[in-house]
Structure 1
């Protein structure tokens, strides 16, 4: 899972870096990102443990309640994704999926040269950039709030054991 995450990060960075030159490097990076998002979605649906969507995608009420706890400064620590992080995973995967689909459509004879599709693809790229910024900000905020290095946990696959008050 960690390698999938790192591959997704790398492919998005490469696709972004070559956004002005929509040639083969941009296309391949986009398809790699799309493939990684599809694999991650499959794991989220059929996998187990903390990778499964059913483990960390919470209801709207639970997510809003958690957001209020964050604002009050008393949000509990989650061993897996917290409710806001869970919805961010879905937003990121959905955006990458739409980016991949719009990029592919633009290469087809049916949609080649359509301005609205190029605009949509670019807008989705900027949306992904904003989501990534929010995601990284959330990781930094949560790391500070719970005094734990979430980037290290993501790289090693190990997180501090549950403490009293943690949510599994």
Structure 2
């Protein structure tokens, strides 16, 4: 607000819009759906299942948005080949990795992994509700192991966001709320 009470129309030149509203809404909705499904007590099976369906729908949306979304939402912007990923990790080990405006090559691997993992959790959970999968110990184990592996990946993801925020002096968590990063 200006001192006259009017909203300022001056664009901030020190920041740039990176994450579109769809990416941010997807991200925080998936966090919420996963948490609801994970922390729902066994006595509230319907809530658990619906949270899982929402998570699965969000994954489908993100896969589509990865091809038709805004620049930094598109897989073509951040999914690279193994050579670029290996180079990035080597630089990261030395503490000299470059800053990326969008996702870096390591984040790309994590994003793809989490999309697949949540997809496996959702499909295996759904299968457990069908006549074909009901009572299957194998599907139940796949579901539970996938959740456990995903929890480890989430911890790595959050840890990496904190590391990147400190290392590059940029609050990535705030950026996922506002959509903006510094230039």
Identify whether the pair has TM-score above 0.5, normalized to the shorter chain.
yes
List structure 1 segments (4+ residues) > 3 angstroms apart after TM superposition: 19-22
Distance in 2 separating the partners of 1:89 and 1:21: 32
Q: Decide which of 15, 35, 42 is 1:13's aligned counterpart.
A: 35
Q: Decide which of 117, 121, 134 is 2:139's aligned counterpart.
A: 117
Quote the residue 1:148 is aligned against. 170
Q: Does 1:54 align with 2:54?
A: no
Q: How many pairs are equivalent?
A: 161
Whose relative contact order is higher, 1 or 2, with alpha carbons under 8 Å and at least 6 apart?
A: 2
Q: Where in structure 1 are there 5+ consecutive unaligned residues?
A: 162-168
TM-score (norm 1): 0.93
Q: Decide which of 58, 66, 70 is 2:88's aligned counterpart.
A: 66
Quote the residue 1:24 is aligned against. 46
Q: 1:3-54, CA deviations, whole angstroms, 9 ceiling, x for partnerless residues?
A: 1211111000001102645710110000011111110111012223000001
Q: Does 1:33 align with 2:55?
A: yes
Q: 1:51-106, CA deviations, whole angstroms, 9 ceiling, x for partnerless residues?
A: 00011011101001100100001000000000000111000000011111101111
Q: Quick one: structure 1 residues 87 and 7, their matched pair in 2 at CA, closer, same or farther if it must change by over 3 Å?
A: same
Structure 1 residue matching 2:135: 3-state secondary structure = coil
**Bigger Cα Rg:** 2
Distance in 1 separating the partners of 2:66 and 2:88: 22
Distance in 2 separating the partners of 1:5 and 1:21: 27
Quote the residue 2:99 is aligned against. 77
